[in-house]
């Protein structure tokens, strides 16, 4: 009875001079061809309106593809790529790595273009959409890379292990997941945009960046504040720039002896003379209430949101100046105290000895 035997065919690596020269010529030829194609793409980018596709970055990617393709072709010719590594070969792994590398370049370029094409002030939904596209593209390219590498049979086991790992990480990274989900919800809710002046709880400033896990706000004093998206999503957000116009609310107190109707007319004339105060809705000035020390006049004026602070400062300055010129007093708080009994003050004279010393 003959024993069963298995034979393994060794990988033949051809390192003859002719083969080496042929491999070198392939690499050189692909390098030259890549440079030619790169120059053609750059020249065409100056003649077409599709600059987001045909540009210098695309030319560099194509040039790298030619060079990498030439190297892989030469290694196949030499027989190195046929060398086995477990269930796959060196060639499959090299092709898979090259595929993932160029997929990464394309995903990154597409993400940057989506953000840049939206203008200098990119909207949050555009940024989130670009980042989601980037991560989805990279994830798909990763699993395709595993297939190209020849490990598709191990893919199911890998996914099972990834599922178990995901469950473990989910319990240990609940905050990260919560911030990510809150970021996705904010994408659909759209409560703020980059460049908006906002107030979140006790934090006020301008939105600098909106990311998947956090939002960055530049406070009025120039400091950067990072707010996790979960906290931001569950907070009351006051967006000062959401609408094109915003109302300025002020109160001015005048003395009881002053003419309130005249003061109101003066304030209305001041509002009419300020260019940035909108005519519609009409600015208002009226007696609002009677305080302990003053008659309070309320001022309501609408202004463009981006000029709200300038208009508020201008109104305060001009109203104060106009009331001073008209002789209308803006009183300070004062109080009159009444005593039930007559107030008596006792004055003590110094002793005689101290008087004599003082006279001496």
Q: What pLDDT is stored for residue 1 in this prediction?
A: 39
**18-32, 126-140, 336-350, range with the lowest pLDDT:** 336-350
Would residue 30 count as lying in a domain? Answer: yes
Which SS3 state, helix, strand or coil, does residue 218 take?
strand
- Note whether 98 and 140 are same-domain residues: yes
What are 83-130's pLDDT values in tens digits?
A: 666 667 777 777 788 788 888 888 887 787 777 776 666 566 677 777
Q: Which residues contact 297 (CB under 8 A, 6 or more apart)?
A: 251, 252, 253, 254, 260, 263, 264, 267, 285, 286, 287, 288
**3-12, 259-268, 312-321, 346-355, range with the lowest pLDDT:** 3-12
User: How far is 102 from 61, CA to CA, in rounded Å?
Assistant: 7
Q: What are the angstrom distances between the C-alpha of 275 and each of 89, 181, 305, 307?
A: 76, 45, 14, 11
DSSP helix, strand, coil percent of the chain (3-state; round to 5): 55, 15, 30
User: How far is 229 from 227, CA to CA, in rounded Å?
Assistant: 6
- Note whether 205 and 257 are same-domain residues: no
CATH code, 320: 3.30.70.100
Q: How many helices (H) and strands (E) does the chain have?
A: 10, 10
- Note whether 95 and 224 are same-domain residues: no
Mean pLDDT of 182-211: 82
- Give 78's pLDDT tier (boundaries 50, 70, 90): confident
User: How far is 284 from 201, CA to CA, in rounded Å?
Assistant: 30
Would residue 76 count as lying in a domain? Answer: yes
Using a pLDDT cut of 90, give the percent of the chain over it: 22
Nearest to residue 205, comparing CAs of 246, 250, 245, 237?
237
- Note whether 235 and 258 are same-domain residues: no
Hey, which bits of the chain come out as E strands? 84-85, 88-89, 197-200, 203-210, 214-219, 224-228, 237-239, 245-254, 284-290, 295-304
What are 290-332's pLDDT values in tens digits?
A: 988 899 999 999 999 989 999 999 999 999 999 999 999 888 7
Is the pLDDT reported for residue 286 higher than 50? yes
- Note whether 229 and 276 are same-domain residues: no
Nearest to residue 276, comparing CAs of 306, 299, 298, 251?
306
Mean pLDDT of 327-341: 76
- Note whether 62 and 204 are same-domain residues: no
Would residue 32 count as lying in a domain? Answer: yes
- Note whether 128 and 38 are same-domain residues: yes
CATH code, 210: 2.30.30.60
Domain that holds residue 69: 17-168
- Note whether 119 and 256 are same-domain residues: no
Task: Tally the domains of the chain.
Answer: 3
User: How far is 355 from 360, CA to CA, in rounded Å?
Assistant: 9
- Note whether 155 and 185 are same-domain residues: no
- Note whether 221 and 260 are same-domain residues: no
Residue 212, token pair as written in the block: 């998947």
Most confident of 80-89, 170-179, 222-231: 222-231
- Note whether 24 and 160 are same-domain residues: yes
Is the pLDDT reported for residue 138 higher than 50? yes
- Give 5's pLDDT tier (boundaries 50, 70, 90): very low
Q: Considering 239, 266, 285, which residue would you say is the last residue of a domain?
A: 239
Say which DSSP state 244 is in. S
Query: pTM score, two decimals?
Result: 0.49
**97-106, 169-178, 238-247, 343-352, range with the lowest pLDDT:** 169-178
Is the pLDDT reported for residue 65 higher than 70? yes
Would residue 26 count as lying in a domain? Answer: yes
- Give 353's pLDDT tier (boundaries 50, 70, 90): low
Would residue 351 count as lying in a domain? Answer: no
- Note whether 24 and 130 are same-domain residues: yes
Would residue 352 count as lying in a domain? Answer: no
């Amino acid at each position: 009875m003959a024993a069963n035997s298995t034979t393994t065919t060794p990988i033949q690596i051809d390192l003859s001079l002719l083969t080496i020269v042929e491999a070198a010529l392939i690499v050189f030829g692909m390098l030259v061809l890549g440079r030619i194609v790169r120059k053609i793409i750059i020249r065409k980018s100056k003649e077409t309106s599709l600059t987001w596709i045909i540009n210098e970055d695309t030319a560099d990617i194509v040039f790298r593809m030619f060079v990498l393709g030439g190297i892989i072709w030469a290694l196949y010719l030499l027989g190195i790529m046929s060398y086995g590594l477990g269930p796959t070969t060196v060639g499959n792994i090299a092709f898979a790595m090259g595929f993932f590398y160029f997929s990464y370049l394309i995903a990154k370029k597409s993400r940057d273009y989506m953000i840049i094409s939206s203008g200098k002030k990119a909207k949050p939904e555009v940024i989130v959409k670009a980042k989601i596209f980037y991560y989805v593209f990279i994830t798909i390219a990763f699993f395709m890379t595993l297939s190209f590498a020849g490990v598709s049979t191990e893919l199911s086991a890998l996914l099972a292990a990834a599922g178990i790992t995901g469950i473990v990480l989910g319990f240990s990274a609940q905050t990260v997941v919560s911030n990510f989900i809150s970021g996705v919800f904010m994408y659909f809710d759209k409560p703020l945009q980059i460049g908006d002046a906002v107030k979140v709880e006790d934090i006020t400033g301008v939105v600098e960046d909106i990311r998947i896990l956090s939002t960055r706000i530049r406070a009025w004093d120039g400091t950067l504040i990072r707010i996790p998206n979960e906290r931001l999503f569950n907070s009351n957000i006051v967006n000062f720039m959401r609408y094109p116009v915003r109302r300025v609310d002020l109160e001015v107190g005048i003395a009881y002896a002053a003419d309130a109707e005249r003061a109101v007319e003066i304030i209305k004339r001041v509002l009419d003379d300020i260019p940035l105060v909108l005519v519609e809705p009409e600015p208002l000035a009226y007696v609002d209430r009677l305080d302990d020390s003053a008659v309070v006049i309320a001022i309501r004026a609408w202004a463009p949101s981006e000029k709200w602070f300038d208009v508020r400062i201008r109104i305060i300055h001009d109203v104060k100046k106009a009331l001073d010129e008209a002789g209308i007093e803006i009183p300070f708080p004062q109080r009159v105290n009444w005593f039930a009994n007559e107030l008596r003050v006792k004055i003590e004279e110094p002793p005689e000895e101290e008087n004599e010393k003082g006279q001496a």
